[in-house]
Amino acid sequence: MENLKGSNYSWGLVAKIFHWTLAVFILSQILFGINLHFMDPSRVKGELIHFHKIFGTFILFLIFLRLAWKFYNPSPFHKGLSFFHKISSKIIQVLMYIFLILIPIQGMLLTWVSGSDVILLGIIKLPRLVEEDFILHNQYIDVHYAMTITLFTLFLIHLSASMLHIFYYKDKYNVWKSMKFIFKK
């Protein structure tokens, strides 16, 4: 059984579960959102937006849990990795976290200006922090979409870097191994 906590060589089981669960959830939310962008207004679109909002608050909740866990656990050390590699991957990761916090929060503002309510995790109705404003509504949709495309671009850079480590560097810096699940007999 893998260690739950991180070490110099591995992120640990808990961080791995967070990483891969969030990867699937976030990618689904991005593609689902891009699909919403191209849909004409309809009753079905309204229902999809309702589901999208609940799922979005759930992702935000998981991101905060993930960051709390990361804060209290050691991260693996990738021996031999150049300073440029380290700093560039750090910048992309920090930017991804910033957008993963900003997009859901801005999504809540977007919901309020549209005149709708934010139900956290589908359970807790949040008090309205901004008034309904139909002029701001369209501008907020554009900002929400632009931030999502930026996040998607960061995700593609992150994915390309991991492919480079697997196929070009043959994982000599232990980057892939530290995040993949290890199944032992």
Tell me which of 144, 173, 175, 178 binds ligand HEM, using CB under 6 A: 144
Please tell me whether residue 120 adopts helix, strand or coil conformation.
strand
Quote the tokens at residue 171. Answer: 């994982």
- Decide if residue 22 touches ligand HEM (CB under 6 A): no
Separation of alpha carbons 159 and 76, rounded Å:
19
Q: Which of these ranges, 31-39, 67-75, 79-87, 158-166, lies near ligand HEM under the rule CB under 6 A?
A: 31-39
Of 13 and 62, nearer to ligand HEM (C-beta) is 62
Separation of alpha carbons 99 and 110, rounded Å:
15
- The DSSP bridge partners found for residue 124 are 120
Tell me which of 14, 15, 96, 110 binds ligand HEM, using CB under 6 A: 110
- Decide if residue 107 touches ligand HEM (CB under 6 A): yes
- Decide if residue 36 touches ligand HEM (CB under 6 A): yes
In 10 A of CB 12, how many CB atoms? 21
Q: Which of these ranges, 1-9, 22-30, 64-72, 88-96, lies near ligand HEM under the rule CB under 6 A?
A: 22-30
- Decide if residue 34 touches ligand HEM (CB under 6 A): yes
Tell me which of 118, 173, 175, 178 binds ligand HEM, using CB under 6 A: 118
- Decide if residue 53 touches ligand HEM (CB under 6 A): yes
Of 13 and 22, nearer to ligand HEM (C-beta) is 22
Tally of CA atoms within 13 A in the half-sphere of 89 that contains its CB: 14
Cα dihedral: 137, 138, 141, 145 (round 10): -160
Place of tokens 């849909």: 39
Q: Is 175 exposed, middle or buried (0-12, 13-18, 19+ CB in 10 A)?
A: buried
Quote the tokens at residue 97. Answer: 């976290």
Residues at the interface with ligand HEM (CB under 6 A): 26, 29-30, 33-34, 36-37, 49, 52-53, 56-57, 59-60, 100, 103-104, 107-108, 110-111, 114, 118, 141, 144-145, 148
